[in-house]
Amino acid sequence: MVFQKSLEYRFNGYQVPATARRARSTRRRAKFQRRVEDNQICAFELLATIAGKLLQEKENPTMTIDTSSEKDQSGSVKECQNANKLFKAELSDEGSCDNKCFSLLSSQTNNPNCCLSEFPNPEIDVYSGIASIVTSSNSLERVVADKLVDGKSQDGMENVTSNAKLDSTGYAEVSCCKLDGDTSEVKDELHKFQNVPIESGTEMCCFEDPLDENPTALINLDDNVKLSGYNDGIPCSSFSKGCGNVPVVSRDDDEKFSGCSNPCTKTKSFRPITSVGDRVRKTLASKYSKVAQESKVHSNNDGDFKPTFHIKKYCYKRQRSQMNIPLKKRKLFNCSSVSNSNKFIRSGGIYHSPENDMSHYTSGSSPGRMRKDHGIDSLERCQHSALQCGGSHVKLRIRSFRVPELFIEIPETATIGSLKRTVLDAVTAILGGGLRVGVSLQGKKVRDDSKTLIQTGISLDSHLGSLGFTLEPNSSPSLLHLCAAHSSHVPSAEIPQSPIRPAIHQRVQGSLDMLPDHQVTNFGNFVVNDHDSTPSPINTSVDKSRTDSKALDTVPEMGEDELAMVPVLQKSKRSEIVQRRIRRPFSVEEVEALVHAVEKLGTGRWRDVKVCAFDNAKHRTYVDLKDKWKTLVHTARISPQQRRGEQVPQQLLNRVLIAHAYWSQQQNQETNTTL
């Protein structure tokens, strides 16, 4: 069975949630939190997009989660500098050919400088980050170390690396959890990455704009289609085979570690973490891998697809303070897998929620919950290495990106796979929403979008190293200008497509409505249409600054895992579209009309009230009227000092009380008579 998918990616705005008013009410706070969540989702989406792009570019993508808590900085620089080598080594060691890695680093520190090349600040915490999220629990690491690794650990801390591998088919075939105690220098270096890297196979670059107060994500764009770096020389073909030989632990399933799973208590303890990663792995790896494969297959057919510009990595930086994920969100993360597990995901999509990875703990008792107050803060150092390319085009590459802190709460009994997925989700959440891209040059923001690259000083001859991209919340209603800027500045730049959002939708359904959708479009909308899918409505309303289409082949018969990997599109689409209506306070006149109508018609006949008194007010639904009456009654019962907003004449409120009492009485009588 073959079906085509059209992938659509949109770069939407990102709106920073308004600051929550001071504890006005739990409700307001909750709303605010939801908005924050939405933003996080946006961020996550972005990440997913990137990851997806990476995966699309090459097959056999691998995602690695390294949970080492080691914070030795000495290795960081080295690692970054030698990222390619390191990864390469790692990959080869594992027998996998990961072409792409994308690493999420969580860090608790805000490192203003991240330049791979220079690493002015050796203390980059980039690496510490995930640790906080993923490994904040030492137990996990310890357990892993004890159980999975045999041996050597640095400072007693081990690194757990899990890789999601894609076989030639493009599906995630094997996932490996590896724990090594620094058998090699290279590995050590890798371990230092405390994050979930999705390797793109290139050096890492970090760029941050110290001057910028707003937390932003730094992005390096690479329009170089081909993956550079360590990938070269590693035969992909060997990849699948190599997996089998992987020294470490391999799992077939999210839930289980076939290889290393030791039902020991210790293992259990760290389990939760693992499962998360799994999800990430699956989601990204399989989805993207599939996409990659598909795209690969059909790339020829699709004229629209332009491989010319790819975003390798994003550097996402945000202040930790902003990234607190509300409890609700955390909850969502936990439950998401479960809830999703049963949900079918459209084949067209990328995200697929597979098994109930989390089910075991969701069901109830989650004895131990790991919570990271500062979630994934993945920072990354990104160096944007700008490469020269032919013609007058400037090639840019995104080396890495950083994800701000997240809240992750997962039961200790969760599997590593669950952990991975959770992390992925969290990241997705962060990147999922609308974001805007900023361009920085030599540490300064380039705000004039109208300037050309050359005018700005970005040219083949310039130091592209000082060029950076930032992802920042978009407060503006539309990102169009951003997009435009993007295209104008970086002609070849292409925003990756990512299907991740859908996954989020399911989980965070409640939050989605909070998104200022129209004002902000989603950063990465990924739309996939397969043969039987209907055109997505979502897209129409949003501007598409960039769209890629690809015809993709999908393997007809997929195991559950594969299915699980399929993205959920339909739902997401819907969610995307749904926008919360703007608040339109009732005027005194409207209240008057409402009161009058209710006096006449009574409560419980809201449709009639609507027709009678608000028939011409299309924005007032009968539900609105009902709600307003509810609030009116409440307002009338409270003291005037407690009332807010436009003051409703007390006389009117009195009528409200009278009418309410009258009709309530009527209602009671009716019920009594019937009885």
Partner DNA sequence: GTTAGGG
Partner DNA sequence: CCCTAAC
Q: In the complex, which residues of this chain contact DNA (CB under 7 A)? A: 27, 509-510, 512-513, 578-584, 603-608, 619-620, 622-624, 626-627, 630-631
Query: Closest CB to DNA among 343 and 580?
Result: 580
Please state the closest distance from residue 334 (CB atom) to DNA, in A. 18
Tell me how far apart the alpha carbons of residues 86 and 97 are, in angstroms, rounded to a whole number. Answer: 13
Query: Closest CB to DNA among 466 and 631?
Result: 631
Query: Closest CB to DNA among 507 and 620?
Result: 620
257 CB contacts (<8 Å, ≥6 apart)? 177, 249, 250, 251, 267, 274, 415, 416
Tell me which residue of 92, 543, 52, 26 sits closest to 291, measured CA to CA: 52
Please state the closest distance from residue 507 (CB atom) to DNA, in A. 12
Tell me how far apart the alpha carbons of residues 380 and 369 are, in angstroms, rounded to a whole number. Answer: 27
Please state the closest distance from residue 358 (CB atom) to DNA, in A. 20
3-state secondary structure of 101: strand
Query: Closest CB to DNA among 137 and 603?
Result: 603
Contact 432, 52 (CB under 8 A): no
Tell me how far apart the alpha carbons of residues 252 and 437 are, in angstroms, rounded to a whole number. Answer: 38
What are the tokens at 74? 């000495």
Going by the DSSP 8-state scheme, the letter that residue 527 receives in this structure is B
Tell me how far apart the alpha carbons of residues 438 and 209 are, in angstroms, rounded to a whole number. Answer: 10
Query: Closest CB to DNA among 421 and 620?
Result: 620
By DSSP bridging, strand 63-66 and strand 159-166 are antiparallel
Please state the closest distance from residue 537 (CB atom) to DNA, in A. 16
Using CB atoms within 10 Å of the CB of residue 365, give its burial: 0 to 12 exposed, 13 to 18 middle, 19+ buried.
exposed
Q: What is the sign of the dihedral through the CA atoms of 126, 199, 203 and 184?
A: positive
| Alpha carbon distance, N-terminus to C-terminus of the chain | 61
Please state the closest distance from residue 432 (CB atom) to DNA, in A. 17
Residue environment code for 637-669, b if the CB has 16+ CB neighbours within 10 A, otherwise e:
eeeeeeeeeeebeeebbebbeebbeebeeeeee
Query: Closest CB to DNA among 296 and 518?
Result: 518
Tell me how far apart the alpha carbons of residues 378 and 133 are, in angstroms, rounded to a whole number. Answer: 9
Query: Closest CB to DNA among 447 and 584?
Result: 584
Helix (H) or strand (E) holding 443: none
Query: Closest CB to DNA among 96 and 336?
Result: 336
Three-class DSSP labels, 358-369? CHHHHCCCCCCE
Please state the closest distance from residue 620 (CB atom) to DNA, in A. 7
3-state secondary structure of 86: helix
Please state the closest distance from residue 309 (CB atom) to DNA, in A. 36
Tell me how far apart the alpha carbons of residues 196 and 106 are, in angstroms, rounded to a whole number. Answer: 9
Tell me which residue of 457, 312, 477 sits closest to 380, measured CA to CA: 312
Contact 524, 351 (CB under 8 A): no
Query: Closest CB to DNA among 454 and 623?
Result: 623
Query: Closest CB to DNA among 184 and 342?
Result: 342
Please state the closest distance from residue 215 (CB atom) to DNA, in A. 28
By DSSP bridging, strand 102-105 and strand 401-402 are parallel
Give me the DSSP letters along 42-63. HHHHHHHHHHHHHHHHSSS--E
Please state the closest distance from residue 583 (CB atom) to DNA, in A. 5
Tell me how far apart the alpha carbons of residues 52 and 528 are, in angstroms, rounded to a whole number. Answer: 13
3-state secondary structure of 154: strand
Query: Closest CB to DNA among 38 and 255?
Result: 38
Tell me how far apart the alpha carbons of residues 250 and 62 are, in angstroms, rounded to a whole number. Answer: 14
Query: Closest CB to DNA among 462 and 579?
Result: 579
Query: Closest CB to DNA among 414 and 512?
Result: 512
Query: Closest CB to DNA among 127 and 663?
Result: 663
531 CB contacts (<8 Å, ≥6 apart)? 3, 4
Please state the closest distance from residue 357 (CB atom) to DNA, in A. 23
3-state secondary structure of 246: coil
Please state the closest distance from residue 510 (CB atom) to DNA, in A. 6
Please state the closest distance from residue 279 (CB atom) to DNA, in A. 22
Tell me how far apart the alpha carbons of residues 523 and 29 are, in angstroms, rounded to a whole number. Answer: 25
Please state the closest distance from residue 80 (CB atom) to DNA, in A. 43
Q: 488: how many CB neighbours lie within 10 A of its CB? A: 15
Please state the closest distance from residue 428 (CB atom) to DNA, in A. 20
Please state the closest distance from residue 31 (CB atom) to DNA, in A. 9
Query: Closest CB to DNA among 471 and 515?
Result: 515
Using CB atoms within 10 Å of the CB of residue 461, give its burial: 0 to 12 exposed, 13 to 18 middle, 19+ buried.
exposed
Going by the DSSP 8-state scheme, the letter that residue 427 receives in this structure is H
